[in-house]
Amino acid sequence: MFKNGANTTLIGGFMAALGASLCCAGPLILLSMGVSGAWIGNLTLVEPYRPVFIVLVGVMFGWSGYQSFKPIEHCDPGTACSIPTVRKRRQMVYVVTLVLALSLVASPYWIPQLT
């Protein structure tokens, strides 16, 4: 992997977004895939930890965004940050992942509109 850890924080932020949406989007996704059972109701037990996951999403995506969009002048020569094609690809992956993560975090607000 790369030395600056932008990929690690990006993956961690997305995993935290999955954790934040587990109580709300989890049952919807499982039911749409045909998985059912009384145990799906237990996913709401994660609801008290939702603010912790949301803070993790903010911190990890903030650091990853800083690493992805910092000026080229602050990059060490020869690192992935200093290569324009890798830099542009990372920025695109960051934006797509951020949009997905924000839609998961906001799932308690838009999922009820679907029903």
> Domain range spanning residue 23?
6-108
Q: What does the pLDDT look like over 5-62, one tens digit per residue?
A: 667 777 888 888 877 776 666 666 777 777 776 666 666 677 788 888 888 888 888 9
Whether 1 maps to a domain, the answer reads: no
CA dihedral 52, 57, 58, 61 (to 10 degrees): 160
- Number of domains forming the structure of the chain: 1
- Residue 57, domain member (yes or no): yes
Give the model's pLDDT for residue 95: 92
Q: Is residue 76 part of a domain?
A: yes
Element (H, E) at 59: helix 50-69
90 assigned to some structural domain? yes
**Residue of 9, 52, 24 lying closest to 115 (CA atoms):** 24
Query: What is the structure's pLDDT at 2?
Result: 46
pLDDT at 8: 78
More confident residue, 96 or 30: 96
Whether the CA torsion 85, 86, 87, 89 is positive or negative: it is positive
Enclosing H/E stretch for 4: none
Domain-located, residue 85: yes
Judge whether 63 lies within some domain: yes
Residue 96 in domain? yes
Angle between helical axes of 50-69 and 6-21 (0-180°, round to 10): 150
For residue 30, being part of any structural domain is answered with yes
